[in-house]
Structure 1
Amino acid sequence: MTLLCLLPGCRFVRVARDGPGALTVLAQARHDHARCPTCRTLSTSVHSRYHRRPTDLPVSGNAVRLQLAVRRFYCRDPACPRHTFAERFPHLLARHAQRTRRLVQAQARTGLALGGQPAARLLAHLAMPTSATTLLRTIRSMPLPAVDRPQVVGVDDWARRKGRTYGTIVVDLERRRPIDLLPDRSAETWAAWLRREPQIQLVARDRSTEYARGTTLGAPEAVQIADRWHLLLNTRQMIERWLARVHPRLKLLPPVGTLIPSTRRTKAYPRAPAEALVRAAAVGRWEVLYDVVRRRRAAGQSLRQINRETGLARATVRKFAFAERFPRHGWRGPGRSILDPHLDHLHARHREGCENAMQLWRELRRLGFPGTAKQVRRWLSERRTRPAKTTIRRLQVPSVVAPTAPTSSPPLPSPKQLSWHLLREPEDLDADAAAAVARVLQDDEAARVVDLGRQFCRIVRRGCGGAQAEPGIIPAFDAWLADARVCGVRVVERFAVSLDQDGAAVRAGLRLPWSSGQDEGQVNRLKLLKRSMYGRAKLDLLRRRFLFAA
């Protein structure tokens, strides 16, 4: 039993069973003397005795409670303010503690890994029962792990409440571990943190103006690096903003080449009339808001003022203010359907003249189709050349089969989807994406914007990989800036101006191998922890759990 229940500073006396699944271990101090905690005088004069009954780690699945015989001694130093004192067991118990240090540590580690409620449920089965509140209180009392002073850090924001409040995460890029969570993403908070770490030499960040200003205030000597992934993301967002303004005009462009009939679905299956009415009403409400924004903008109001008075999101206000027409949603393509793998068979049977939905469904069932006849009937309803036999007489109106070859321009993808296609290299596009890009490039302004966007993406990708950038990359970036600032497209010119204002960080990002990519991975882990702590994820508790888990 001594080997199974090692008690630092104590001598094992005996063990007794205290009911099913519970043991009581009797122990006492090894020495016959103790030191006064105030004057450190050694004493052997016993004043009295009492017992402490703390909980300890379980043994072989049995809960263990210690019964320690504690002695109270006289202090023999006349000048000491203490007259008596109790002997202590610093390696086993804290003062007034009801749990041993090793039990507290085991419970805290379980709580750090699982969270309060899940850990409390598990510990009850491991003979270490405690409440979730006690676990969280224990985690809050643990000292944070000591870390080396960082010199290269990455900074990014994370959502405490998405769209409302945000915090800041700081990562040591050399050691690949998070080192702090800050309560907001303001420049002042970030600058104050940097002033406490004067040894920092390099800061990798996104293109947030708050982090740029905070780094300049808190660490003016540090090198700032604009993350290359965010540069590519900002380029795509710039293309998307331009497309949102000109998308109605681009939809009028004719397709390039001959349109080939396809059996692929180009739209979703028909929905109920009530859903169409709800969608039309929603579009009508947005059109009213679009007119309101355009009128206010024409009256000279700023975008910030419109955002404040209308309550619309800033991105929505900006999109409506610069759009030539109401920006209707572009074609996004239909979602996946379990009927899609069997469309070729359905089209072939329909060309043979089969318009019996139940017969088609039975054939598909033999081919492995797991759906119901309703899905086949819905597909067939748009392609019937004659009413079904089960249709009531007053509704038997012959329908006209839609032509197999398209007679009008195919739908153009939405601005967001189209922006991805326009920035990819031509050899990386599939047939549908290449046709959409070729159709858009018929517009002269679109050709200029896409060419500049692709050039900048190539420059950024040339700066990725290796400690040394490709020779000539900085002159290529400077030449691109000069061309973009006089291209005649307002969105591209403003993007070039913003890059020029952050030019030192952008050039450092193209030259140096560091990036804030590690921040994105740590934010992903932080979100997992935050959601697993739903309802209890206050910043101090989340910060401790996140840093201990690192």
Structure 2
Amino acid sequence: MKTVSVLSAKDQIEKVIKLLIPVPEKLEIHELLITSEELTLVLASLQSLASCPVCGQETRRLHSTYMRTLQDLPWGSLRLQLHVQVHRFFCQNPDCKRKIFTERLPELVEPFARRTNRLRDALLTIAWALGGEAGAKQCAAHAMPICASNLLSLLRRQGVSTAPTPRVLGVDDWSFRRLQAGTLLVDLEHHRPVDVLLGSDEEVFASWLREHPDVEVISRDRGASYQKGAMKGAPQAKQVLDRWHLGKNLREVLQKALARQMDALQQAGEEVKESKQDQPTAPAQLAQAGAKQRKSPRRKAPSPSPQRAWQLALYQRVHELAAEGKPQREIAASLQVQRQTVRKYLRMPQFVDRRHSPSPSQVEPYRAYLQQRWEQGEVMIKALWQEIQQQGFTGSYGSLRNFLHTWPLPQEMVASPSSPFVAPIAQRASTTRTPRQATRLLLCEPEELRETDIAYRQALFRLAPSLENLSTLGKEFLQMIKKRDDQMFFPWLKRAKASPCEEIRRFALGLENEADAALAALTEPWSTGPVEGHITRLKLLKRQMYGRANIDLLRLRVLHVA
């Protein structure tokens, strides 16, 4: 049983209590009950005059009193509960529907509420910052217990004020759930979010623009949904393409073009490797005297990816049906794929998986050395790891193990301890480039590249002359964006449409279809950079709310911070 101490209002502590309670001039302190976990403060209202909440007429005619129980801000680690005795009054207006009403204490608490205003504000501050689950844990740690659902209900009731329609609007999409996207709208002049929409199709964007007709400028990426939505919802607004997305789109175009030149990429790497074989080498020896004989590790070939195998079979079947003379529409219907997929595979002279461009391993620069040691019979991964560490390798043992675990064992393997070996420095550098790496070589100036990269690019231009024209067009386009030179735009379009590369021609035709928006990107200062920053913050808020991130709560938190 809890021990209760009772302090009367005649004690000196009354002065301290009056400093801590809200609106002390309207409340009288009767007593304070203290337990090990909670304080209970008994108060009484001093008001003798009240106004009817319906008709507003003042009255002094008292009906009765009753006790309201309220939760207030804690005192230290103790919860504080207020028992406030308030009055009921008669409304003396004969035409008023309300005959009896309870007096209001707006500075202390809202009508029918069970928490004081200052406790509600403190809970809302935590809820806006942390959300439901994390906010409830933080409130419990500060003697303000509340469940996550009630905390989120407070947010919903509080709501946010409607932002004024921006003059310059930035728009971009974000991922809400799997296969479901959303749209974030940002006022680019004031750098604050305006609205969060569920859906990224043109109708969602167009309907919002129809409700806000004062938008004058729209900054967007090259997505077709926002382009069509802006034309439908705000045909009077000026559209501006984002410069960063233009550069990104160009790099993607070059990467697709280089993916069709895999033979040239590999052959250029072989030529660079052969040209470096005659250069002087530096010895790198690692003596392991007395090392114990160990069994050879067991390895098996990696299982092929089912997705890649299906794509390869589909690619072959598309070419077989095309060789029989069937049109693309019939091929797409028989294979149950999109016509764009059929068209993409027919353009490929050989199958290329474009789903991703894997990053090269840290071990790749040491491939030539490892292959030579592997053929000599050294298959102990730890020994090889120690050897390449002597040559400057800074990666982990696990990265080397993952790199070598699919290599087949030599035919005549000799499980011998490691022996000193000389490794050529020239073979440390990776020779064959991925399409993504080669894209960087095409867009960089010669003074920004190493000698090996320059030799590789020259070999690539010699094997595939069309790539030199692609490199020139790409660098000119990036310089045009960097300098914001709108005079270069149409001459560049003309040269790009005459390029032998199909990908760059399609890119130029797409820009020509939205030439006004592309020119505005070179003359206007607006971009979707602030939108990307707010999307990053939106993702943080979404993950912070665990599985409770419904679109209404997410919208409230995003707009409240703004």
| TM-score using structure 1 length | 0.81
Q: How many residues get paired?
A: 517
Go from structure 1 to structure 2 and tell me whether the alpha carbon gap of 1:303 and 1:249 turns closer, same or farther (over 3 Å shift).
farther
Alpha-carbon distance between aligned partners in 2 of 1:414 and 1:319, rounded to the nearest angstrom: 20
Shift of residue 172 of structure 1? 0.9
Out of 101, 104, 107, the residue aligned to residue 123 of structure 2 is 107
Cα distance change, pair 453–356 in 1 and its aligned pair in 2 (3 A) = closer
Q: Which amino acid aligns with 2:511?
A: L
Q: Which residue of 2 aligns with 1:301?
A: 328
Residue 196 (structure 1) aligned to one of 189, 211, 228: 211
Task: Output the CA distance in 2 between the equivalents of 1:321 and 1:8.
Answer: 83
Given candidates 282, 302, 307, the residue that maps to 1:277 is: 302
Equivalence for 1:439: 459
Aligned equivalent of 1:141: 157
Within 2, Cα distance between the matches of 1:271 and 1:537?
49
Q: Does the 8 Å contact 2:282/2:423 carry over to 1?
A: no
State yes or no: 1:546 paired with 2:562. no
Of 535, 538, 543, which residue of structure 2 is paired with 1:526? Answer: 538
**SS in structure 2 opposite 1:179?**
strand
- Counterpart of 1:258? 275
Q: Is the partner of 2:111 in helix, strand or coil? A: coil
Residue number in structure 2 paired with 1:462: 483
* 2:447 corresponds to 1:427: yes
For the Cα contact (< 8 Å) 1:320–1:327, is it kept in 2? no
- Letter of the aligned partner of 1:481 in structure 2? L
Q: Does the 8 Å contact 1:244/1:319 carry over to 2?
A: no
Shift of residue 423 of structure 1?
2.0
Deviations 1:236-288 (A, max 9, x none): 11111212223235434563582257899xxxxx99633x2313776544421
Q: What amino acid is aligned across from residue 430 of structure 1 in structure 2? A: R
CA contact (8 A) 1:9 1:91 kept: no
Match of 1:470 in 2: none
The code of the aligned residue for 1:258 comes to S
* Aligned pair partner of 2:109 in 87, 93, 109: 93
Distance 1:36 1:280 in 2: 76
The answer for the alignment partner of 1:499 in structure 2 is 511
Question: 1:394 maps to what in 2?
Answer: none
Q: 1:103 to 1:327 in 2, by over 3 A?
A: same
Alpha-carbon deviation of 1:89? 1.6
Question: Is the Cα contact below 8 Å between 1:15 and 1:23 reproduced in 2?
Answer: no
Alpha-carbon distance in structure 2 between the residues aligned to 1:79 and 1:50: 26
Moved more, 326-335 or 432-441: 326-335
The alpha carbon displacement at 1:368 in A equals 13
Tell me: CA distance 1:359–1:319, structure 2 relative to 1, closer, same or farther (3 Å).
closer
For 1:43, the equivalent position in structure 2 comes to: 59
CA pair 461-2 structure 1, distance change in 2 beyond 3 A: same
* Structure 1 position 382, deviation (Å): 8.3
Task: Verify the 8 A CA contact 1:9 1:29 in the aligned structure 2.
Answer: no
1:323 is the counterpart of 2:345: no
Q: What is the SS of the residue equivalent to 1:49? A: strand
User: Does the aligned pair in 1 maintain the 2:28–2:46 contact within 8 Å?
Assistant: no
Cα separation, 1, equivalents of 2:561 and 2:92: 48
1:279 counterpart SS class: coil
Distance 2:138 2:223 in 1: 43
C-alpha offsets along residues 169-193 of structure 1, whole Å, 9 cap, x if unaligned? 1111111111111111122221222
**Of residues 230, 244, 253 in structure 2, which corresponds to 1:238?**
253
1-structure distance, mates of 2:385, 2:275: 34
Q: 1:72 to 1:271 in 2, by over 3 A?
A: farther
Change (3 A) 1:9 1:140: farther
- How far off its partner does 1:386 sit? 7.7
**Partners in 1 of 2:41 and 2:380 — Cα distance?**
81
Residue 383 of structure 1 deviates from its aligned partner by: 10
Question: How far is the alpha carbon of 1:154 from its aligned partner?
Answer: 0.8
Q: Secondary structure of the residue that 1:54 maps to in structure 2?
A: strand
Q: Distance in 1 between matches of 2:359 and 2:456?
A: 13
Match of 1:412, SS state, is coil
Match of 1:57 among 48, 67, 73: 73
Contact 2:378 2:417 in 1 (8 A): no
Which of the numbers 219, 223, 228 marks the counterpart of 2:243? 228
SS of residue in 2 equivalent to 1:23: strand
Partner of 1:69: 85
Residue aligning to 1:396: none
Partner of 1:124: 140
Paired position in structure 1 for 2:361: 335
CA contact (8 A) 1:331 1:412 kept: no
For the residue of structure 2 that corresponds to 1:543, the secondary structure is helix
The answer (yes or no) to whether the contact 1:241–1:319 under 8 Å persists in 2 is no
Could you say if the C-alpha distance between residues 77 and 545 of structure 1 is closer, same or farther in structure 2, counting changes exceeding 3 Å?
Answer: same
> Residue 292 of structure 1: which of 314, 317, 329 is its match?
317
CA distance in 2, matches of 1:361, 1:483: 51
* 8 Å CA contact retained: 1:332, 1:413: no
User: Which blocks of at least 5 consecutive residues in structure 1 are unaligned?
Assistant: 265-269, 392-398, 464-472
| SS of 2:510 mapped into structure 1 | helix
Q: SS of 2:314's equivalent? A: helix
> Which residue number corresponds to residue 13 of structure 1?
29
Point out where structure 2 has 5 or more consecutive residues left out of the alignment: 1-16, 284-295
For the 8 Å contact 2:265–2:433, the answer to whether it is kept is: no
Deviation readout 1:413-470 (Å, 9 max, x if unpaired):
222332233222232233444343222222121112221112111111111xxxxxxx
8 A Cα contact 2:328 2:343, kept in partner? no
Q: Distance in 2 between matches of 1:418 and 1:158?
A: 30
Amino acid at match of 2:114: Q
Q: Counterparts of 1:503 and 1:517 in 2: how far apart (Å)?
A: 21
Matches within 5 A, 1:398-437: 412-437=432-457
